[in-house]
Amino acid sequence: MPDTYRILPDEPIAVATRRIVAALVEDAIRQRDRSDVDTAVHEIRKRCKEGRAVLRLVRGAAPFAQTEIHAMRDAARIVGDVRDRRSLELAVDALATGGRLDEGLESGMRKHLASRPVGDRSAAELVDGVIERLVSVRQRIPSWELAVDGWDAVRPGLERTARRARARLRDVHVDPSADAFHEWRKRVKDARHHAELLLEVAPLQVEHHELLVRLSDVLGLHHDLSMLRATVSGQAGPMSSELAERAGDRIFHRQAELAAQALDLGATAFADSVEDRLATLEATWRGGRTAVVQA
């Protein structure tokens, strides 16, 4: 997130929530003017995810939060297939850049991806559908009010995110499946966004935030490779069975490397208890903010 999307010192949390989500939604809507549709779709989905993270942070004090989380999620899903196609291409790029694919295997994988059927609606039409829904969200933002302000407004959301991230990490240790890593990835992204939202009011958390960024990126590539592996092994296309097997093997080994890296990062990122993490955050929060009356 750019610095604009952070809670400011002395800013009432209701004001910050409206300001940040409005800015995110506006930025997503502006993507309609991009000539590069793939980039537009990526930015739209990213802004929707960040907006949902803001709402999850204040959900305990915001009766509107769950409705708006669902609204932004459903909007982003409209262009989900478009983004998935691009993510698969980038996953092949990552393997090729790392020297894990020979020329024949890389060519075969790209031809396989290019052979996938495309939906009836163009990417531009799908983007228009997302924008229409986001305009509706934008219209409701001025009415958003929180039941409490300050630390009380964000603590429940921080606690929920911290507990869920640690629980999904435990799940991965028990069942290191693609689905388990994906669920952990989603909770890590929430923790990452929440840490970033608080950087101006809890600046001592910079190193923790940077760690979560690295972990989120590793888990993101792991997830993209899971989709790529499923695509080359489970969908009919021009790849021979021999190439598909080789591709699956290369992907599997790269995922194993990423999984080990993610578990190491996760052990550090979530080494403290939820209670200790919240106590640290509250101390830096109260040291970095002055109590204000909610506007």
DSSP line for 105-150: HHHHHHHHHHTS---SS-HHHHHHHHHHHHHHHHHHGGG---SS-T
Query: How many angstroms separate the CA atoms of 101 and 81, rounded?
Result: 25
For the cut 60, the answer to whether the pLDDT of residue 193 exceeds it is: yes
pLDDT grade for 292, boundaries at 50, 70 and 90: very low
- Percent of the chain scoring above 90 in pLDDT: 71
pLDDT grade for 291, boundaries at 50, 70 and 90: very low
* C-alpha distances out from residue 225 to 169, 213, 273, Å: 19, 19, 31
For the cut 70, the answer to whether the pLDDT of residue 114 exceeds it is: yes
The answer to whether 1 and 50 are in contact (CB under 8 A) is yes
Residues sharing a CB contact under 8 Å with residue 152, sequence separation 6 or more, in sequence order:
61
For the cut 90, the answer to whether the pLDDT of residue 41 exceeds it is: yes
Query: How many angstroms separate the CA atoms of 49 and 217, rounded?
Result: 15
Query: In the numeric block, which tokens belong to residue 194?
Result: 């929440």
Query: Mean of the pLDDT values across residues 66-92?
Result: 93
Give residue 243's pLDDT: 86
Give residue 129's pLDDT: 94
Q: What is the residue extent of each domain of the chain?
A: 7-288
Give residue 237's pLDDT: 67
pLDDT grade for 239, boundaries at 50, 70 and 90: confident
CA-based nearest residue to 18, from 3, 7, 31: 7
The answer to whether 18 and 141 are in contact (CB under 8 A) is yes
Residues sharing a CB contact under 8 Å with residue 126, sequence separation 6 or more, in sequence order:
41, 78, 79, 82, 119
Helix axes 274-288, 151-174, angle to 10 degrees: 150
Give residue 127's pLDDT: 92
pLDDT grade for 236, boundaries at 50, 70 and 90: low
For the cut 90, the answer to whether the pLDDT of residue 181 exceeds it is: yes
For the cut 70, the answer to whether the pLDDT of residue 235 exceeds it is: no
Question: What CATH number is given for 7-288 in this structure?
Answer: 1.40.20.10
Give residue 290's pLDDT: 47
Give residue 227's pLDDT: 93
